[in-house]
Structure 1
């Protein structure tokens, strides 16, 4: 069973077969395979995270930020957190319910830490219109403590 979203009106349809020929809501042709899109976003998020230790990914642009609480733990803590986040691979249904590898939880020096990737437009003002368009999508990975959420 796959989910498809109309490119025109945003209606989501579920199909056991192939992509629908036309949207049942507006009649327009063309749909996004949401499962395939999620898998591609997860792959890009993984590549973005892995590249933070090398100063960033050459095509998946973005930034890594941390909250005041995480920064207050010191540079050693932040560096260790970045190393752990870059290599994080413990995704489960509980910590990755959407399957896009945009969230993780880990423990650094006995402290529970969360990381979250958000997808923005090129100006960091709005959500990404097309999260698979690397030229127009920016990632922001935030390191935070659960109490700061």
Structure 2
């Protein structure tokens, strides 16, 4: 069972992933080399296949999907604003820097 804190983190992560705002977006070289990068980015934005198996903490911080026979991962990490360590409070955007990384599964 998830609480209000988890729901707020999930909402902030969803906003970052859907809009690519409120976060830094890192796209690995493998993903950048794909022929249809806009389609991959669109699939990240539209991702909604969260289940207890792939999102056990309910924070909507990871997903994977297939694109042209390739498995793509995306993940969101929350750091302090200096990107030195984990955020002290991922529900507070004033002290949190979100980083959304989009990569090929083989790059993980």
Of the three residues 130, 134, 141, the one matched with 2:89 is: 130
Q: Distance in 2 between matches of 1:147 and 1:110?
A: 13
Displacement of 1:103 = 0.4
Could you say what secondary structure the match of 1:80 adopts?
Answer: helix
Q: What count of residue pairs does the alignment treat as equivalent?
A: 108
- Quote the Cα distance in structure 2 between the aligned partners of 1:81 and 1:121: 28
1:40 lines up with 2:13 in the alignment: no
Q: 2:77 aligns with which of 118, 132, 137?
A: 118
Where does the alignment leave 5 or more consecutive residues of structure 1 unmatched? Answer: 3-33
Whole-Å separation in 2 of the counterparts to 1:121 and 1:82: 25
Q: Distance in 1 between matches of 2:49 and 2:85?
A: 29
Query: Who is 1:6 aligned against?
Result: none
Q: Quote the residue 1:5 is aligned against.
A: none
Give the TM-score taking structure 1 as reference length. Answer: 0.67
Larger radius of gyration: 1
Once the 2 structures are TM-superposed, how far is the Cα of residue 35 of structure 1 from its aligned partner? Answer: 2.3
Q: Tell me which stretches of 4 or more aligned residues in structure 1 moved more than 3 Å.
A: none
Distance in 2 between the 1:137 and 1:125 partners? Answer: 11
2 CA distance for matches of 1:125 and 1:108?
33
User: TM-score by structure 2 length?
Assistant: 0.90
Q: Determine the structure 1 residue equivalent to 2:31.
A: 70
- Give the Å deviation of 1:67: 1.7
User: Which fold has the larger relative contact order, with Cα–Cα distance below 8 Å and residues 6 or more apart in sequence?
Assistant: 2
Unaligned runs of at least 5 residues, structure 2 = none
